[in-house]
């Protein structure tokens, strides 16, 4: 009976250890991942604006590389920097939540600068949202 209890205890501990490892596993650096799609911020926004369901099926969860002019840089304490690219007029666009590991790369970006960013598409709220973004190029 003791052997069975020890075996069950060991299996529970091993399962908890594997679960903890998987939960805290770091995300891969998008700088090293080839994007599934390359397009302009305007093209990405238009795809979601015209048919959100089809765009979600195509882009959601995929690594996407977008190019366009910076509309604004939002810096809030305790939150990742967000860079909005022009794509949907004055109020909307492509919101890129930047990866804090690469903060030195995008610290000096100003509105109007043309950039290429790579991130994982998370769908559309008011803006098209990309997460874990990295700066690929400044033009």
Each residue's pLDDT tens digit, 97-137: 998 887 777 778 889 999 999 999 999 988 999 999 999 99
**95 in Cβ contact with 130 (< 8 Å):** yes
pTM of the model: 0.78
How many angstroms separate the CA atoms of 130 and 99, rounded?
A: 11
How many angstroms separate the CA atoms of 120 and 100, rounded?
A: 15
What tens digit of pLDDT does each residue of 74-93 get? 888 878 889 999 987 777 88
Give the CATH class of 30-138.
mainly beta
**Domain extents in the chain:** 30-138
Q: What is the dihedral of CA 79, 85, 90, 92, to 10 degrees?
A: -70
Tokens found for residue 37: 């799609």
Distance of CA 57 to the CA centre of its chain: 16
């Amino acid at each position: 009976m003791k052997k069975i209890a020890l075996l069950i205890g060991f299996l529970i501990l091993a399962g908890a250890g594997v679960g903890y490892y998987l939960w805290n596993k770091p995300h891969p650096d998008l700088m090293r991942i080839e994007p599934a799609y390359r397009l302009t911020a305007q093209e990405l926004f238009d795809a979601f604006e015209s048919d959100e369901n089809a765009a979600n099926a195509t882009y959601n969860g995929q690594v996407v590389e977008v190019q366009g002019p910076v509309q604004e840089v939002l810096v809030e304490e305790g939150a990742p920097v967000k860079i909005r690219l022009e794509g949907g007029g004055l109020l909307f666009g492509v919101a890129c939540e930047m990866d804090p590991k690469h903060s030195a790369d995008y610290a000096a970006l100003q509105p109007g600068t043309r950039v290429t960013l790579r991130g994982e598409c998370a769908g559309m709220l008011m803006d098209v949202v990309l997460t874990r973004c990295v700066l690929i190029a400044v033009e």
